[in-house]
Structures are given as C-alpha cells and as structure tokens.
Amino acid sequence: MSDYPQITELAVDRREETLVTQQPGYAATERVTRDVAAERRLGVFQFTRILYTVLGLLQILLGMRFVLKLIAANAASGFATLIYGITALFVLPFQGLIGTPTSGNTIFEVTTLIAMAVYALVVWGIVSVIPIVMDRPNARTMSRSTVEQTPGGPGNERKTRTTTIG
C-alpha cells in the first residue's frame, strides 16, 4: 500500500516530495528535492541557444545576399531569386537609409551590413536581459535519498542517495 506523496515547499526555488511505500515485510521512504531555479536556468539556456541559432541562419542568408549583390550575380537565377526573396523582408526596414554604391552591375549593399549588425545587437540585448530577469541566485542542488527496509528487522536497511549539483 502506498501513501500519497507529500509535497513541502521550502522556498520558491526548491521543492521536496516524500513518498512512503509500506507493504508487509517491506518499507521504503523516498525523498526527492527538485531545484526549480536550475530547471529555469536550463530553459533560459535552451531559449538563448535557439535565438543564437536563428541569428546565425539569418546572418548566413544576409551574408549570401551581400556577396551575391557584390559579385553581380544573375538576379534571374533560381538561387539568387531564393536568397533575395527570403532576405528582402529582413532588409526592408533599412532600405533607403543610406545610398548604395554601385559600379556597373556590382552593388555594395551597405544596408545589408547594417541589417546584420542591428539584428546581432538586438539578439545580444535580448540574451543579455533574459538572465537578469529570470535568474535566481539562491539555487540549490537536487538530491534523492531512499531508505528501504526488508524483512529481518532494523539491521536490514538499505540506503541510497543521489545528488545532482546543478
């Protein structure tokens, strides 16, 4: 027969749960402590990885656009049309900001370089602010301890303890 788990909240960033299992000739007590702040930090870390991955892909596409314009690639080719179509939305807010130097068919598109810098700064700013808002410095570790008692009296106990330092 198993009792329902008792949850005790010691602090906002730490939760404890105790589970007691008792059967004839067998008793086990399991206590689990969760580090909620470490779980939150892991979520923030995953979010920042996603942001940096998206930024990296955007920078690659914008860099390809810049190089294609610089080497006067044929705008009617499928690849150039694809790159120009994907990146047009991201360069649009910066169009007309400054003049674009040209030499024959070669275009030195400074607005693409400005867009790359602005998007990098925006992502860097977001990634810098999120930990300040979300992080809790008083995080604790997660530990699990189990005590099992088998038939034969108090000397037949088995204790296990697992600690994860986050």
Residue 33: per-residue pLDDT:
74
Higher pLDDT, 145 or 26: 26
- In a domain, residue 20? The reply is yes
Whether pLDDT at 7 is above 50: no
Q: How far apart are alpha carbons 63 and 25 in whole angstroms?
A: 70
- In a domain, residue 133? The reply is yes
- In a domain, residue 1? The reply is no
Whether pLDDT at 143 is above 70: no
- Sheet with strand 26-35: strands edge to edge: 6-11, 14-23, 26-35, 142-149, 157-164
SS3 content of the chain, % helix, strand, coil (to 5): 45, 30, 25
pLDDT digits (tens, 9 = 90+) for 80-92: 999 999 999 999 9
- In a domain, residue 72? The reply is yes
DSSP string, 63-118: HHHHHHHHTT--TTSHHHHHHHHHHHHHHGGGTTSS---EETTEE--HHHHHHHHH
The whole-number average pLDDT for the span 96-121 is: 94
Q: How far apart are alpha carbons 25 and 150 in whole angstroms?
A: 6
Residue 9: per-residue pLDDT:
41
- In a domain, residue 157? The reply is yes
Higher pLDDT, 130 or 34: 130
Single pTM value for the model: 0.66
What average pLDDT does the chain have?
A: 81
- In a domain, residue 140? The reply is yes
- In a domain, residue 141? The reply is yes
The whole-number average pLDDT for the span 2-15 is: 52
Residue 155: per-residue pLDDT:
64
Whether pLDDT at 62 is above 80: yes
Please report, rounded to a whole number, the percentage of residues in the chain having pLDDT higher than 70: 72
Whether pLDDT at 31 is above 60: yes
Query: How many Cβ atoms are within 10 Å of 126's Cβ, its own excluded?
Result: 13
Domain housing 11? 6-164
Whether pLDDT at 160 is above 70: no
Residue 115: per-residue pLDDT:
97
- In a domain, residue 112? The reply is yes
Query: How many Cβ atoms are within 10 Å of 11's Cβ, its own excluded?
Result: 13
Total tally of structural domains belonging to the chain: 1
